């Protein structure tokens, strides 16, 4: 099988065989839903697990951010973190210290406490892997936001820009390849800073949008890029959608790097972008709320009835929303590995 997410059809089959009957589980394993929600007797526990497998640089920092993003998209504040850190035998003590320092810095920045985890030296790993579990809490069910909460007629908003995370990884780990492909050094340098500016955290944006009380659905853009995230919102909500490609924010550095490497930014790892759906009448106010906290937002499309389908409007006209079997970064990395053999 190819690297990346399991095919949705296979994952659905596998999930159907798992024990999920506890009545306290309000949200369990479902395609498109990134967090579990458990009723703990009034207050709700929100739980998320996610590994970092593509990046090596700042992997500990990544692991905190991507897990915190999903908890925030459920309407909760990320509170407690448990990392599982797998280290290849050729790693040095300083390599491990760096991972721990990055985890600590990221958690302090978000007000998150590390409450446990696991570390292990593991054979046959080409690079470190950090798999994290982030926990948060909600006071009641009214605060819970689901990926599958989108409604027919909702406007679709996306924040910050697409392919931010994937572009940053490419710039940080393939600088020489990019320069050879003709990308200017200034562009590569700016892209390496994308982890912090505009950044891959959507916690502040999710919190601000939740406080408006208008949001029906939140979903952060991760593996598989914007298109995969939109498909997950549609699948979880049992709806269709239409998106205008020209309205989608693509930073010039992302465009230059993707073009040089023949990568489609619509399918590239995209932490830093947040998808929100809400009534069309509330969209202008939501964009103003985002602007007040220094986050850019764009209205890019609309949710529709399921039978209306999934559509992308671009310069060539209206066409079926594309589908990415795996993230464009995984495809690129496989090509690099084949060339090096």
DSSP assignment of 177-228: HHHHTT--HHHHHHHHGGGTTTTS--HHHHHHHHHHT--SEEEE--TTHHHH
Report d(CA 85, CA 83) in Å as an integer.
6
Nearest of 94, 101, 64, 300 to residue 195 by alpha carbon: 64
Dihedral in degrees, nearest 10, Cα atoms 131, 137, 142, 144: -10
* Domain chopping of the chain, boundaries: 24-143, 147-330
Quick one: pLDDT at residue 341? 57
Quick one: pLDDT at residue 225? 96
Helices 164-173, 252-260: crossing angle, 10 deg rounding: 60
**Cα dist. 3→6, 63, 224, 328 in Å?**
8, 19, 12, 11
Residue 110 sits at φ, ψ, to 5 deg, of -105, 0
Quick one: pLDDT at residue 329? 94
CB-based burial label for 254 (10 Å; 0-12, 13-18, 19+): buried
Quick one: pLDDT at residue 337? 66
We find that the CATH architecture of domain 24-143 is 2-Layer Sandwich (3.30)
Report d(CA 178, CA 254) in Å as an integer.
12
- Which residue stretches of the chain have pLDDT < 50? none
This prediction has a pTM of: 0.91
We find that the CATH architecture of domain 147-330 is Alpha-Beta Complex (3.90)
Quick one: pLDDT at residue 57? 79
Mean pLDDT of the chain: 93
């Amino acid at each position: 099988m190819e690297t990346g997410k399991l095919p949705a059809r296979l994952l659905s089959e596998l999930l159907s065989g798992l024990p999920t009957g506890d009545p306290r589980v309000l949200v369990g394993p479902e395609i498109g839903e990134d967090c579990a929600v458990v009723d703990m007797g009034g207050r709700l526990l929100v739980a998320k697990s996610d590994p970092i497998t593509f990046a090596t640089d700042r992997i500990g920092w990544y692991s905190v951010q991507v897990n915190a993003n999903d908890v925030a998209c459920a309407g909760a504040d990320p509170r407690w973190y448990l990392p599982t850190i797998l280290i290849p035998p050729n790693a040095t003590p300083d390599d491990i210290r760096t991972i721990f320092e990055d985890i600590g810095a990221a958690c302090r920045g978000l007000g998150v406490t590390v409450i446990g985890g696991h570390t292990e030296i593991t054979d046959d790993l080409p690079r470190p892997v950090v798999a994290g579990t982030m926990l948060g809490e909600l006071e009641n069910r009214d605060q819970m936001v689901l990926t599958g909460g989108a409604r027919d007629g909702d406007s679709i908003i996306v924040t910050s820009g697409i392919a931010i995370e994937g572009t940053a990884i490419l710039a940080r780990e393939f600088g020489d390849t990019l320069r050879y492909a003709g990308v200017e050094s200034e562009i590569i340098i700016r892209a390496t800073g994308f982890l912090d500016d505009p950044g891959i955290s959507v916690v502040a944006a999710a919190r601000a949008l939740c406080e408006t009380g208008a949001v029906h659905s939140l979903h952060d853009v991760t593996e598989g890029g914007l298109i995969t995230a939109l498909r997950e919102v549609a699948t979880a909500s049992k709806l269709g959608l239409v998106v205008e490609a020209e309205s989608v924010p693509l930073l010039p550095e992302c465009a230059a790097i993707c073009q040089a490497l023949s990568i489609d930014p619509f399918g590239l790892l995209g932490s830093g972008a947040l998808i929100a759906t809400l009534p069309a009448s509330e969209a202008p106010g939501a964009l103003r709320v985002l602007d007040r906290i220094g986050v850019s937002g764009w209205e890019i499309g609309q949710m529709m009835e399921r039978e209306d389908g999934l559509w992308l409007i671009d310069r060539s006209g209206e066409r079926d929303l594309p589908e990415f079997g795996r993230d464009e970064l995984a495809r690129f990395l496989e090509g690099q590995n084949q060339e090096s053999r």
